[in-house]
Copies of this chain bind each other. A is one copy, B any other.
Amino acid sequence: MFHPELIEIGRKAKKAARQLAFASTESKNNALIAMSEALINNEQEILKANGLDVQAAEEKGLKKSLVNRLRLTASSIRQISQSLQEVVALRDPVGEGEVWTRPNGLRIQQTRVPLGVVAMIYEARPNVTVDAAALCLKSGNVVILRGGSEALESNKVLTRVIAEAAEESGLPGGCIQLIRETNREWVQQLMRLNDYVDVIIPRGGAGLIQTVVQNATVPVIETGTGMCHAFVDRDADYQKAIAIVINAKTQNPGVCNALETMLVDEGIARDFLPLIGEELKKHHVELKGCPKTCEILTYALPATEEDWVSEHLDLILSVKVVTDLDGALDHIYQYTTKHSETIITEHYTKAQRFLKEIDAAAVYVNASTRFTDGGRFGFGAEIGISTQKLHARGPMGLRELTTIKYMIFGDGQIVK
């Protein structure tokens, strides 16, 4: 049995979706501008609520990095407000499409329409609350938000402020809703609310995402887990290899497109490992190596199976010496989460084989895996990075928040 309050949220969402689906771009943009202004006008109240969350998190002894992710400041609120203005500038995919005419005169128009009701399940990051709401709204979708409980007070104020602004600007009530109940049973029910929810997007750690994938009956777009590899081929340009590995590992180690494992061709291991080892040391990166790596770099710690399987999300790099490209492909084939993989080589055919044979959302030659990002791909903004193959793969922008509908214009045609 579903909780009646949850059903009520679903019903309200579905009702709002029916109207929001054909709101004009202009009215959606007006709402985004109103939301952007409302955030600034309610800065004090937002900061106060966020202060409660931060204090409680600190008292609970939450990790410092998580507390920082939770914390809002006047400046970060301005940034969030500004990001809404950027969503205004994005092209609205709703209503775009193509048309063709069949021999019998039927005109078939394939048109982009919103998905309907999107449920976002994410961690305690108040900025995601606003970003997700804005991207869903711009693409004509109603959003049901369920953020991490540590951010509840912040999320309550943020969603109230933006939902009121959207409603006052003329959009239907219920188009942005927050689940205020922190009981986990509600999340379990939300994942099975097929009558009211069209898609669930979980955003966060591997545990959260697996829970959703295992339990949801509503269609899911999996995001995030990135066990990313770089293969330094024997024909690599060492300078490029060092720059790319350092960048992919250290520029922001906590994100899903950061590098986790470096594979080194055994033909250059004795040359290259000491060079990259020095650079990694300068960047305070700890190494977990295979036996050959540990033999060459005596300061590396021995890697366990776990090091090849799981994201470090920290200044730790797993390193393995492989026979050649085939050895690298086999290792990646076994451990990839199909997010982002890169090869560093000057060899044409090896680059082509890597591009072709690696099955991942983003496969790179001579570039950092950190580019897998909606903004860096040129999509303007992203709601997450899909690691599944259905519907969307890689960075998801507004277009990925839509589906299609066939509109067929006839003048009495029947099937013969």
Interface of A toward B, CB cutoff 8 Å: 18, 21-22, 100, 102, 106, 108, 113, 115-116, 194, 198-199, 213-214, 217, 219-221, 237, 239-240, 243-244, 246-248, 251, 333, 355-357, 359-368, 370-372, 376-378, 388-391, 393-394, 403-415
How many protomers of this protein does the assembly include? 2
Residue of A237, A388, A414 with most partner-chain B CB within 10 A = A414
Say yes or no: B370 contacts A414, CB within 8 Å. yes
- The one of B246, B247, B405 in contact with A360, judged by C-beta atoms closer than 8 angstroms, is B405
Say yes or no: B412 contacts A244, CB within 8 Å. yes
Cα distance A362–B109 in the bound complex, in angstroms: 10
Cα distance A141–B167 in the bound complex, in angstroms: 47
Say yes or no: B243 contacts A412, CB within 8 Å. yes
Cα distance A412–B367 in the bound complex, in angstroms: 5
Residue of A213, A376, A413 with most partner-chain B CB within 10 A = A413
Cα distance A102–B373 in the bound complex, in angstroms: 13
Q: How far is the CB of A272 from chain B (nearest CB, A)?
A: 16
Say yes or no: A414 contacts B102, CB within 8 Å. no
Listed by A's residue number, 20 A-B pairs whose Cβ atoms lie within 8 Å are A22-B357, A106-B371, A116-B359, A116-B389, A198-B390, A219-B220, A221-B390, A244-B412, A246-B414, A248-B414, A251-B415, A364-B410, A365-B409, A367-B412, A367-B414, A370-B414, A371-B408, A389-B403, A394-B404, A394-B406
Q: How far is the CB of A386 from chain B (nearest CB, A)?
A: 10
Kindly list chain B residues whose C-beta atoms are within 8 Å of the C-beta of A364: 408, 410
Q: How far is the CB of A355 from chain B (nearest CB, A)?
A: 5
Cα distance A393–B404 in the bound complex, in angstroms: 6
Known: A243-B414, A415-B376. A359 touches B389 (CB 8 A): no
Q: How far is the CB of A391 from chain B (nearest CB, A)?
A: 4
| Residue in chain B with minimal CB distance to A192 | B214
Kindly list chain B residues whose C-beta atoms are within 8 Å of the C-beta of A370: 414-415
Cα distance A96–B367 in the bound complex, in angstroms: 23
Kindly list chain B residues whose C-beta atoms are within 8 Å of the C-beta of A243: 412, 414
Q: How far is the CB of A63 from chain B (nearest CB, A)?
A: 25
| Residue in chain B with minimal CB distance to A412 | B240
Kindly list chain B residues whose C-beta atoms are within 8 Å of the C-beta of A372: 406
Cα distance A236–B364 in the bound complex, in angstroms: 57
Cα distance A390–B371 in the bound complex, in angstroms: 26
Q: A355-B407, A366-B412 are in contact. List 11 more A-B contacts (CB 8 A).
A: A18-B333, A108-B377, A108-B378, A115-B389, A237-B412, A251-B415, A359-B405, A366-B409, A367-B411, A370-B414, A393-B403
In the A-B complex, list the 9 residue pairs whose CB atoms are closest, starting with the nearest.
A367-B410, A247-B414, A370-B415, A391-B391, A240-B412, A389-B403, A390-B391, A366-B410, A367-B413
- The one of B221, B362, B388, B393 in contact with A408, judged by C-beta atoms closer than 8 angstroms, is B362
Q: How far is the CB of A317 from chain B (nearest CB, A)?
A: 16
Say yes or no: A22 contacts B406, CB within 8 Å. no
Residue of A21, A244, A393, A405 with most partner-chain B CB within 10 A = A405
Cα distance A368–B415 in the bound complex, in angstroms: 7
Cα distance A219–B359 in the bound complex, in angstroms: 17
Q: How far is the CB of A354 from chain B (nearest CB, A)?
A: 9
Say yes or no: B389 contacts A199, CB within 8 Å. yes
Say yes or no: A406 contacts B116, CB within 8 Å. no
Q: How far is the CB of A112 from chain B (nearest CB, A)?
A: 11
Q: How far is the CB of A277 from chain B (nearest CB, A)?
A: 19
Say yes or no: A378 contacts B102, CB within 8 Å. yes
Say yes or no: B221 contacts A217, CB within 8 Å. no
Kindly list chain B residues whose C-beta atoms are within 8 Å of the C-beta of A194: 213
